């Protein structure tokens, strides 16, 4: 499993458009203060994606992803994850969680 968090941009970023000269085009957009945080894992064997949508990507959302993986792969002897060096992967909460998990 490859594990990571993403924060996709979901506002319009226009680079060109078709409209009459000297007219203004209005595009609807949401506030930049709101963004979606998706924490997920990719199974490299079958390309299955497991995701958790969270208020923030942190140790708690990491724990939620691990719990979801253990539910989905309940018959696996162990689950191997590969992740980057983000601080929440090295947190006390995750270290404690991993001591008793697969």
pLDDT in tens, 26-82: 777 766 666 789 999 999 999 999 999 999 999 999 999 999 999 999 999 999 999
The number of angstroms, rounded, from the C-alpha of 62 to the middle of its chain's C-alpha atoms is: 9
Instruction: For residue 85, report the phi and psi dihedrals to the nearest 5 degrees.
Output: -100, 30
Q: Supply the DSSP string of 66-99, one letter for each residue.
A: HHHHHHHTTT-S----EE---GGGGSHHHHHHHH
What per-residue confidence (pLDDT) applies to 32? 64
Domain ranges of the chain: 2-6+28-99
């Amino acid at each position: 499993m490859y594990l990571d968090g993403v924060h996709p941009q979901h506002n319009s970023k226009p680079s060109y458009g078709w409209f009459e000269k000297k007219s203004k085009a209005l595009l609807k957009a949401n506030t930049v203060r709101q963004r979606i945080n998706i924490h997920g894992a990719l199974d490299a064997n079958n390309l299955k994606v497991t995701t958790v949508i969270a208020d923030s990507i942190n140790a708690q959302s990491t724990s939620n992803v691990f719990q979801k993986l253990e539910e989905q792969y309940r018959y696996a002897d162990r689950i191997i994850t590969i992740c980057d060096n983000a601080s929440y992967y090295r947190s006390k909460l995750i270290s404690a969680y991993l001591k008793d998990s697969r």
